[in-house]
Amino acid sequence: MSKQLDSLRQFTTVVADTGDFDTMRKYRPTDATTNPSLILKAVQQKENQHLLEKIIHDHSNASGSELVDHLLVAFGSEILSIIPGRVSTEVDARLSFDTQASIERARQLIDLYQRSGVARERVLIKLASTWEGIQAAKVLQAEGIRCNMTLLFCLPQALACAQAKVQLISPFVGRIYDWYKKSAGAQWDEAANAGAADPGVQSVKSIYDYYKAYDIPTEIMGASFRNIGQIRALAGCDLLTISPDLLNQLSESTESLERQLAPEHAKQNAPEWLASNEVSFRTELNQDAMATEKLAEGIRVFVADGIKLDTLIAQARNK
């Protein structure tokens, strides 16, 4: 009997949400995603210390931020030697509200990849789905630098990304689920909010249906899962990026898995066409307490881990 992970591959591109090389070798994902938190975790593993040591040795005169970028590219290049597809590498979250600085940092990352022999087509630059981040992506996409918009929690963010013609968006299923569960407190009914009724799943489905109904080419990659029920409910989404623990659960389960999302279903019940501009983006995002709070929280978390990574590199450099 087929494993769920193999069944999922039939209609969804499986992506590894990790910086762990062994996980990628074991589960054979097509693509891989990284973020400051995952790289911070990976670089502290003993088997990866040589990457940090080599970066510091080879770039002794580089600034702290340059060393971080070299490290990100070293991890990304190693990942690309394992997987057949693309790797997502994130621009410093501290630049989430600075369009020009985000553009310049993204160009630098792509330049470092190309110097390492990696074609730009194999790299997705991750940017936070703030208005400023989306405008940076618009410029980068026009230059042939493909972008993955992260920390995305609502349709208005997805609409702005579509207008910017970004390559891919990463709506965060689990963090939406977390917010609604915390908000409901003791009134939360897990069974009633599982599977297709999960608020995170419903958010991604609404974006999927909109994109497919209007033939928007931007890829949709569900992210930040808390359980395999959420993954099963989004089977058929363009891509799903999955943590090592959930990849393992899917690889061990022999339960049947059916496709849940399909373009033809979206076209049958096309949602209303919605305009998107800066005013509507900021207004609609502000009206959505969940999306506003989770976007801000996500940036804060990534900034904190970015600072920790800076500190770790500085300490290694001063040994």
pLDDT in tens, 156-197: 999 999 999 999 999 999 999 999 999 999 999 999 999 999
* Residue in 319, 246, 306 with CA at minimum distance from that of residue 91: 306
User: Which pLDDT tens digit goes with each residue over 128-153?
Assistant: 999 999 999 999 999 999 999 999 99
Residues of the chain with pLDDT > 70: what percent? 100
Q: Which amino acid is it at 173?
A: V
Check if the beta carbon of residue 124 is closer than 8 Å to that of residue 168: yes
* Averaged pLDDT of the chain: 96
* Residue in 24, 122, 28 with CA at minimum distance from that of residue 73: 122
**Average pLDDT rounded to a whole number, residues 54-78:** 94
Q: Output the 3-class SS for 91-103.
A: CCHHHCCCHHHHH
Integer Rg of the chain from CA: 19
Please determine, for residue 273, whether its predicted confidence score (pLDDT) is greater than 80. yes
What's the pLDDT score for residue 319? 79
Q: Which amino acid is it at 58?
A: D
User: Which stretches within 152-288 are classed as H helix?
Assistant: 155-163, 173-184, 199-213, 228-233, 244-252, 263-268, 278-287
User: Which pLDDT tens digit goes with each residue over 196-252?
Assistant: 999 999 999 999 999 999 999 999 999 999 999 999 999 999 999 999 999 999 999
Would you identify the CATH topology of the domain 4-317?
A: TIM Barrel (3.20.20)
What's the pLDDT score for residue 123? 98
Give every CB contact of residue 255 below 8 A, 6+ residues apart in sequence.
Answer: 4
User: Which pLDDT tens digit goes with each residue over 105-114?
Assistant: 999 999 999 9
Please determine, for residue 289, whether its predicted confidence score (pLDDT) is greater than 60. yes
Please determine, for residue 1, whether its predicted confidence score (pLDDT) is greater than 60. no
What's the pLDDT score for residue 187? 98
| C-alpha 212, offset from chain centre | 20
Give every CB contact of residue 208 below 8 A, 6+ residues apart in sequence.
Answer: 220, 237, 261, 266
What's the pLDDT score for residue 136? 98
What's the pLDDT score for residue 10? 96
The CA–CA distances, whole Å, from 4 to 11, 232, 233, 234, 236 equal 12, 9, 12, 13, 13
- The DSSP element (H or E) to which 292 belongs, if any, is helix 289-317
Lowest mean pLDDT among 82-91, 242-251, 263-272, 295-304: 263-272
3 state DSSP class of 7: helix
Query: What are the boundaries of each domain within the chain?
Result: 4-317
**Cα separation, 201 vs 302, whole angstroms:** 23
**Cα separation, 159 vs 193, whole angstroms:** 26
Q: Which amino acid is it at 218?
A: T
Please determine, for residue 2, whether its predicted confidence score (pLDDT) is greater than 80. no
- Per DSSP, 145 falls in state -
**Average pLDDT rounded to a whole number, residues 37-61:** 91
Enzyme catalytic residues: 126
Q: Count CB neighbours of 114 within 10 A.
A: 13
Q: Which amino acid is it at 12?
A: T
User: Which pLDDT tens digit goes with each residue over 29-38?
Assistant: 999 998 888 9
**Cα separation, 228 vs 13, whole angstroms:** 16
Check if the beta carbon of residue 164 is closer than 8 Å to that of residue 141: yes
**Average pLDDT rounded to a whole number, residues 89-97:** 97
**Cα separation, 152 vs 175, whole angstroms:** 10
**Cα separation, 307 vs 319, whole angstroms:** 19
User: Which pLDDT tens digit goes with each residue over 119-130?
Assistant: 999 999 999 999
